Amino acid sequence: MPQVIQSRIILLIAAFLYFFLCNQYHVLANAAQITVLSDNEEELNSNVLAEGKMEDSAPVSSSWWDKLVRADLKDSVPLDPPTELLPQTYLAKNEKIEQFQEKYEEFAKNREEKMKKGVMGNDTRVGLVLWHGMGDSGLASGIQNFAHKVEMEMDSYVTTQSVVIGDSDPSDRFYSYFLPIADQIRIVCPMIAQWTAEHNVTEWHAIGLSQGSQFLRAVVQQCGSVRISKLVSIGGQHEGIFGLPFCDAMQQSAHSNLLCRWVRSFLEMGAYVPWIQEKVVQAQYFHDAFDMERYTSGCIWLPKINNQVTVNQTYIQRMSSLDSFILIKFNDDHMVTPRESSHFEFYELGSDQKITPLRESQIYQQDRLGLRVLDKTNRLHLLTSDGEHLRFQWDWFVANVIPLLKA
């Protein structure tokens, strides 16, 4: 193999390792800082989903890669601190975590009694489902406690579920990096269908955190057996990412700016290499702002789910059927580049500076996902919160999001 090609391969691998490690470091270092503070194929085996069966929680294929990721990962994948979210996320002022947990246990007991007595009603049985972000786990205490806080505020859900892929906390975190998104959706669709049957749920409210936002949107679009009526996207990347976390925060330094652009240039070079696309989750929503053709032909997931390759009318119909689609952007988000992706906005073609507003974008103007219909009927809600990625105050959430879920 020529030395030039070898060098490029090494640089590509180094760039993606940097991307992975940078994100993993951010998750670990900031975990304790987040505050609340074909169309037929794309139906994802509809016959299986309609029956609500989930034969196996592992990927469909049985390659060496799948055998690797199904191995015991507890010694190789670092865990977040015991509580990812600061107490302000779900606790009252001066309230201890133990006190909150006691309150929730009492709340859950009272809810169970209400359900037995039929006080909560039988016509509409609403459940809550959450999908965590990159490097996190549905089993993490922070995710669980946030879900419980939403439960207590709503006081109407018959069940609350958090998506977990794999059989452990470490495997769920690992899959968030290295299990193809389409495989994740194939696993989660029958998972939610099974919960629907077990708890007699008539509709779901869904809350996605970071990349879990666009994954839950894919569930809406592709899972015919699951009825999601209200979808909350918290810091999602619906138009993808183009850059490295925190690079725009380091623009003051010419050296760091040069480094960011250097690494991103190699990310651009390698993002659409087939084996990287097949194995790295974040590459599957990497959106090249300078080459639309390369993005739509090389990226195997996001262009399809955004109807940017061919228009799937089923996707439009299912998105248009949402009662509410709530998109939350963080004004100081340095994790998502550009942060406007949380509002379905992205760079103008050929620029990495100027943003095309949602209502001027092709996806809105041509109504490729039903966003214009939702907007014109007051069902699309674009919210902004000050602070970094996923850092928001609980009082803000109660004042801005809870009323939309209750409406």
- As beta bridge partners, residue 234 has 209, 328
Quote the tokens at residue 276: 């990287």
Task: Supply φ then ψ for residue 326, to 5 degrees.
Answer: -110, 115
Task: Supply φ then ψ for residue 327, to 5 degrees.
Answer: -110, 120
What is the distance between the alpha carbons of residues 322 and 308, in angstroms, rounded to a whole number?
A: 21
Q: Do the beta carbons of residue 294 and residue 283 sit within 8 Å?
A: no
What is the C-alpha end-to-end distance of the chain, expressed in Å?
Answer: 62
Q: Do the beta carbons of residue 236 and residue 327 sit within 8 Å?
A: yes
SS (H, E, C) 286-302: ECCCCCHHHHHHHCCCH
In the residue annotation, 132 being an active-site residue is answered as no
Q: Do the beta carbons of residue 238 and residue 307 sit within 8 Å?
A: no
Q: Shortest CA distance to 310 belongs to which of 299, 296, 321?
A: 296
The active-site residue out of 136, 288, 333, 367 is: 333
In the residue annotation, 210 being an active-site residue is answered as yes
In the residue annotation, 156 being an active-site residue is answered as no
The active-site residue out of 137, 171, 176, 210 is: 210
For the four alpha carbons of 147, 322, 49 and 159, in that order, the dihedral sign comes to positive
What's CA 185's distance to the chain center, in Å?
Answer: 11
What is the distance between the alpha carbons of residues 174 and 214, in angstroms, rounded to a whole number?
A: 18
What is the distance between the alpha carbons of residues 166 and 341, in angstroms, rounded to a whole number?
A: 29
The active-site residue out of 148, 205, 287, 389 is: 389
What is the distance between the alpha carbons of residues 43 and 57, in angstroms, rounded to a whole number?
A: 18
As annotated, the active-site residues are 210, 333, 389
